[in-house]
Amino acid sequence: MTATAPHPEDVPSPCVSVCKLDTETRLCKGCGRHLEEIRLWTRMTADDKRAVWARLESGTPYSDGG
């Protein structure tokens, strides 16, 4: 059986399998994503996923745009 190569636009999830949500900030204590980022991850574009990664790597706080 041959494994299918990932699509070039696939962006890996930042999930580290330490899923604990801070009830005040709604941020995962494992990966740092906001609940909305986690919920929408599979429907995000590759560019949106890269933006999440950039935010996580820079330490920029989550903003819902409001």
- The 10s digit of each residue's pLDDT in 1-44 is 455 545 556 899 999 999 999 999 999 999 999 999 999 999 99
DSSP label of 44: S
Q: Is residue 65 part of a domain?
A: no
Q: Is residue 55 part of a domain?
A: yes
Q: Is residue 64 part of a domain?
A: no
* Closest by Cα among 35, 25, 66 to 52: 35
**Amino acid 12: pLDDT:** 96
Q: How many domains does the chain have?
A: 1
CB atoms within 10 A of CB 33: 23
**Residues near 21 by beta carbon (within 8 Å), at least 6 away in sequence:** 27, 28, 29, 35
48 is in which domain, residue-wise?
18-59
CB atoms within 10 A of CB 34: 20
